[in-house]
Chains A and B, each alone.
Chain A
Amino acid sequence: MLVSNFLIEVTYLKDRVVISPTSRQEGHAELVMEVDDEGIVTKGMYLSITPVRGLEKMVLDKAPETAPVLCQRICGVCPIPHTLASAEAIDMALGIEIPKAAKLLRKATLAAHNINSAAIHHFLVAPDIVPDDSFAAAVDSVSEIRKNVQYVVDMIAGEGIHPSDIRVGGMARNITPFTKERLVERMTALRPKLEAHIELIKNWVLEAGLPKDLGVVNQPLLATDATYGTNEFDMDAFSEVLPEAWYDDPEIGTKACSVIPLINGTNVETGPRARMEKYQGFKDKGVIAQHVARADEMLKNYDACMEALDALDTSASARADYDPRGTGELGFGIIEGPRGTNAHMAQVKDGKTQFYSAIVPTTWNIPTMGPATEGFHHEYGPHVIRAYDPCLSCATHVMVVDDEDKSILKNEMVRI
């Protein structure tokens, strides 16, 4: 469900503009903007209103291999990052060192998927940035790119949407030399089209008339790697608070369906721009910069995919034997997904998953996105939100139990 079919309700209260649900994003969220007499946003609040999935509870007391299979169903937009984060977390929780070939196959898969996801985002923001007479060309370009990179995911990981062949311990099997050759050939043919696409998008973004400083925030960046992710996570720096404690407005606090994760007590920015700034020397901030960084990152992912394919030994084993009983230690699966850092954590003991938690990219960004709308006219609010490419299905993590007053009666879903 990429494009919401729901009627979007824009409510003008005395000094508040409420957009619910925000459109052209996955899942449902609400943007609440307090505005002054000129319509300039003085306070922005963004909150998820997507119902909880509860996958983290479903995997408990089950065999560890269940986690990647179920957790990829958190969402069909980011199934690859969720499967990978889940598999990596379980790998670590079982003490598995996966074969080099498996790691390369996983890297190629994620890189291809991230290109696909950026292209989908270009489709979503096309009505904002693409001139009417170029719309068909833009959609064609998006489709052409997606068709090719999804082919890579299909071949390596089994399915382009919910990958069947990313497994605990590595991959179901290695690809054949014939397949490697075919993928390299296809990707090589894609490169000029991808470069042209990136140029087109960047030009359209720059010519869309968006204010230069729109959406500029100065929050700390969350990114663990330039492309794939490293399974290192500083639990000491991490904390999370319930939305009731975060949002000033108690009504919004009880309505919001996601916890607020913090690093060193502060909300962060994650995503392509954060990665590009941290690892590639990208300097600009704000909405335009986010679009440009996302487009430029497509080429970084392209190179990462080709490097992984090039380094792959197709005759090597891609799956490790392992002991499924578990180490009892907390395992981390940190994947740099299209929208930012996706952290899955798992603990396995006596062959059963004892603990599971996922802190996903949009959850990190939610507390940062609202304030990012401040200082500009509220009509730019949706542009700011879309620049983060939010994806709410997996970001939702609070169980609302009481139907009467919507208060959160149980929140053990989120307890670490």
Chain B
Amino acid sequence: MPLGTYKEAVSARSTEKRIQDVSQDGGIVSALLCYALDEGIIEGAVVAGTPDKNWRPVPTVVTSADEVIEAAGTKYSMSPTLSALKEATRQYGLEKVGVVTTPCQTQGLRKAQAYPFSRFVADKIKLIVGIYCMENFPMASLDTFATAKLGFDDLTDASKMDIGKGKFWLTKDGEDKGLAIKETHGYEQAGCNICNDYVAEWADVSTGSVGSPDGWSTVLTRTDAGSDVFSKAVDAGLIETKPMDDVKPGLPLLEKLAKGKKDKNKKERERRAKMGVKIPTIY
């Protein structure tokens, strides 16, 4: 099962204009967090906050819909999101916490919940929204793309960052400059090459653009908690859905990419294992 265990797969998008205006795709992460906050399902959430001019994502604790929306959109470098969980459950005083995570962060969090080494932190996490992730770039790689590959003086000159149509895009003075994705290979963080999880298989609910048309997201509800909050947000009219069978390219593409990541990285795992390098357990 390349997509892990899930209850339901649908194509969905936020019905709220103010989320649509700022969201990367269907605005599902923002819509779910806003709904969960408004309904008291969570008191706050830890998210990858909007980077400042240097594009470095900053883990941020949000406690209102406005703050969620301010932090909307994909970040293109690693956000050490889990590092802010302690702060969220301490000085922010949150008893019910949501968190937006990449697949690897989701695994870490589930381990923290399974093993008792994060006293009064992991047990306060009530909603994990996972995002699809093929790989992620360290800040030094983004700097390299900007300066060595795209001819910028500095990464901070870029006003916009995006990945789409097979390219990594930076915008400067209104002009888009693209770098073919295959040119970015080798610049991802090394751990991404042995990761088997594309679709945040251990999250409560996972989402990402792949499989759905532009402006929509593919949502996989996985746990009772995830399914519950998603269906209630749909019932409340905050999210509209379409069956996956009705959209193009649909679930087969998501399955293909998820399986592709597993297959490719299995080879890398085997290569490393042959050299005697320890490989993390796959669950």
Residues of A with Cβ closer than 8 Å to B? 154-156, 158-159, 164-165, 172-176, 178-179, 182-183
Contact = CB atoms under 8 A, between A and B. Distances in A.
B67 to A, nearest CB: 12
A154 B91 contact: no
A174 B119 contact: no
Contacts of A183: 93
A283 B208 CA distance: 71
A159 B87 CA distance: 11
B155 to A, nearest CB: 28
B91 A175 contact: yes
B90 interface: yes
Interface in B7-51: none
Contact of A154 (B63, B87, B92, B120): B120
Contact of A174 (B86, B91, B120): B91
B63 A178 contact: yes
Interface in B130-145: none
24 contacts: A154-B90, A154-B120, A155-B90, A155-B91, A155-B93, A156-B90, A158-B86, A158-B90, A164-B86, A165-B90, A165-B91, A172-B91, A173-B91, A174-B91, A175-B91, A175-B92, A175-B93, A176-B63, A178-B63, A178-B92, A178-B93, A179-B93, A182-B93, A183-B93
A176 B92 contact: yes
B119 A159 contact: yes
Interface string B151-191: 00000000000000000000000000000000000000000
Interface residues of B, number: 9
Contacts of B87: 173
Classify the interface of chain B: helix, strand, loop or mixed: loop
Interface string B61-98: 00100000000000000000000001100111100000
Nearest to A314: B91
B37 to A, nearest CB: 13
* Ranked 4 nearest A-B pairs via Cβ: A179-B93, A175-B91, A182-B93, A173-B91
Most chain A CB inside 10 Å of its own CB: which residue of B90, B91, B93, B120:
B91
A174 B119 CA distance: 21
A176 B43 CA distance: 13
Contacts of A178: 63, 92-93
B120 A176 contact: no
A164 to B, nearest CB: 8
Contacts of B90: 154-156, 158, 165
A154 B88 CA distance: 12
B241 to A, nearest CB: 34
Contact of B92 (A158, A159, A172, A179): A179
A307 B241 CA distance: 53
Nearest to B120: A154
Given A159-B119, A165-B91, 16 more contacts: A154-B120, A156-B91, A158-B86, A158-B90, A164-B86, A172-B91, A175-B91, A175-B92, A175-B93, A176-B63, A176-B91, A176-B93, A178-B93, A179-B93, A182-B93, A183-B93
A182 to B, nearest CB: 5
A183 B92 CA distance: 11
A175 B88 CA distance: 10
Contacts of B120: 154
Nearest to B86: A158
A176 B90 CA distance: 10
A96 B120 CA distance: 32
A176 B62 CA distance: 12
A165 B120 CA distance: 15
B13 to A, nearest CB: 31
Interface string B85-121: 0110011110000000000000000000000000110
A182 B91 CA distance: 11
Contacts of A156: 90-91
B119 to A, nearest CB: 7
A189 to B, nearest CB: 15
Contacts of A173: 87, 91
A173 B63 CA distance: 17
A178 to B, nearest CB: 5
Nearest to B119: A159
A179 B92 CA distance: 6
A179 B119 contact: no
A162 B249 CA distance: 53
A153 to B, nearest CB: 10
Most chain A CB inside 10 Å of its own CB: which residue of B92, B93, B119:
B93
Contacts of B86: 158, 164
Contacts of A174: 91
Interface string B195-221: 000000000000000000000000000
A178 B87 CA distance: 13
Nearest to A159: B119
A65 B227 CA distance: 46
B116 to A, nearest CB: 14
Most chain B CB inside 10 Å of its own CB: which residue of A155, A156, A159:
A155
A304 to B, nearest CB: 20
A337 B120 CA distance: 25
A172 B63 CA distance: 20
Contacts of A172: 91
B162 to A, nearest CB: 34
B147 to A, nearest CB: 32
A287 B138 CA distance: 64
Contacts of B91: 155-156, 165, 172-176, 179
A12 to B, nearest CB: 45
Contacts of A182: 93
Contacts of B63: 176, 178
B274 to A, nearest CB: 41
A48 B215 CA distance: 71
B43 to A, nearest CB: 8
Nearest to A183: B93
Nearest to A173: B91
